[in-house]
Amino acid sequence: MAAPPAYALIATDLDGTLLRGDDTVSERSLAALERVARAGARHLVVTGRPAPRVRPLLAALGCTGLAVCGQGAQVYDAGTERLLWSVRLDRELAETALGKIEAEVGQVFAAVDQDGVDGLTLIEPGYLMPHPTLPAVRVDQRDDLWREPISKVLLRHHTLSDDELAATARAAVGSLATVTMSGPGTVELQPCCVTKATGLALAAGRLGIPAERALAFGDMPNDIPMFAWAGRGVAMANAHPELKAVADEVTTSNEDDGVAVVLEGLFPAG
């Protein structure tokens, strides 16, 4: 009988990690994930995208199990198309947090991801979507962002870098919310103490897989908690320096199939 794989759970971020710049997954990466499945290990998407923005990608990957979405605030079951777990960001706290940030840096531009499997992404005037391929609904004023329950707030500033905005936001917000940076032009506020690690731990617990048997791939600082939880963390060559600093290994870039490069070594063909 073949020995069980060293890792029973493969957790992959999407943007900048498993996905190429055109939002596709390469044939090589798909083949590597098939090797994972044949070996009896599980693949789990762990992404900052909310569940409604992930559903088409999960279908393309053939995923019918769990996915961690919304920076860990949602655990989605692709098989039943429902949320098993969801944490909302209090809208009054979100408004207060925005006010504190703007008191430090001047005007910021905001968007929100609504809660639920059919939730919309709403953007206020002046906010530019970092992923132009993702659908969003423009509203007339900021007050319209809060009309339905939300899972997170996305922030942009016209002159500050992402690192500068994230650092200032963390200092200004304190314990009102968790501040993350998940990609170019993507600084986010999410429920306090919620990270990718909390969602991943919950999903792994449902699957009966301990942290030491999890292998995680990522590219941005929002993946740091996931790396701290998993048995091993692999950063992409294109990863943010903060993530590379805590990674156990650095692979090639997302454009060069970095996830597949590692998985091919761990899960031999056949």
pLDDT score of 51: 95
Global pTM exceeds 0.85: yes
**What integer pLDDT is reported at residue 1 of this predicted model?**
39
| Distance of alpha carbon 241 from alpha carbon 236, whole angstroms | 10
- The DSSP string of 192-218 is TT--HHHHHHHHHHHHT--GGGEEEEE
Could you report the per-residue pLDDT of 22-60, keeping only the tens digit for each? 999 999 999 999 999 999 999 999 999 999 999 988 988
pLDDT value of residue 4 = 58
Question: For strand 66-69 and strand 42-46, is the pairing parallel, antiparallel, or unpaired?
Answer: parallel
Q: Which parts of the chain register pLDDT below 70?
A: 1-5, 270
In degrees, rounded to 5, the angle at the alpha carbon of residue 245 between the alpha carbons of residues 261 and 167 is 125
Asked if 192 contacts 177 with a C-beta cutoff of 8 angstroms, the reply is yes
| Token pair 């690192």 in the structure block, residue | 163
Q: What pLDDT, on the 0 to 100 scale, is given for residue 268?
A: 86
